[in-house]
């Protein structure tokens, strides 16, 4: 019919704009994938570095825990019996004193080992910082693109109204 308006398949936007948008999205996706690949490589390097640094403190932590679980009961019973003989206390009091001493010793060994392990795990902070920087960059690019698109859509709106 003669008075009907033909609808453009581009939904009102010129062909060049859709190609530009596709190119922008393609470039952005490529950049994001490159960043993700680099982030994964950095994380792998940090994990490898961390695993090399954590062996000794990890072994010390395990040894401290094993010592607390395996050796202390026998030694603590012997110490409690010695306290009963030397100080002529009741067996119950001697066993409580020795149990408290064993708990404090085990806690100190585990505390020192865990503090050293934390220092060794700090190497992963580099990956975290880089991830935060990459996410900020992505947000910035998306925000800039959104503002640019909004501006262009307003320009196109005013051109069609006038």
The long-range contacts involving 13-16, CB below 8 angstroms and separated by at least 24 positions, are 13/156
Q: Look at residues 6, 16, 109 and name the one whose alpha carbon lies nearest to residue 67.
A: 109
Tens digit of each residue's pLDDT (9 = 90 or more) over 120-135: 777 778 778 888 888 8
Tens digit of each residue's pLDDT (9 = 90 or more) over 80-121: 999 999 999 999 999 999 989 988 988 999 999 998 888 877
**Distance (Å, whole) CA 87 – CA 106:** 25
Gap between the terminal Cα atoms of the chain: 26
Tens digit of each residue's pLDDT (9 = 90 or more) over 13-69: 555 545 565 667 778 888 888 888 888 888 888 888 888 888 888 899 998 888 878
Global confidence as pTM: 0.39
Domain boundaries in the chain?
Answer: 37-161
pLDDT of 39 reads: 86
């Amino acid at each position: 019919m003669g008075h009907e308006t033909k609808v453009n398949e581009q939904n009102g936007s010129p062909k060049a704009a859709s190609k530009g948008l596709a190119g922008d999205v393609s470039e952005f996706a490529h950049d994001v994938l490159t960043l993700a690949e680099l982030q994964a490589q950095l994380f792998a390097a940090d994990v490898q570095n961390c695993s090399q640094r954590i062996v000794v403190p990890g072994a010390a932590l395990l040894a401290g825990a094993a010592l607390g679980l395996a050796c202390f009961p026998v030694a603590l019973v012997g110490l409690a019996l010695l306290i009963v003989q030397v100080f002529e206390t009741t067996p119950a009091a001697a066993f409580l004193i020795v149990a408290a001493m064993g708990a404090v010793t085990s806690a100190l060994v585990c505390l020192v080992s865990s503090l050293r392990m934390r220092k060794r795990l700090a190497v992963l902070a580099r990956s975290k910082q880089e991830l935060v920087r990459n996410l900020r960059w992505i947000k910035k690019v998306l925000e800039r693109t959104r503002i640019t698109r909004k501006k262009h859509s307003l320009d196109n709106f005013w051109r069609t109204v006038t």
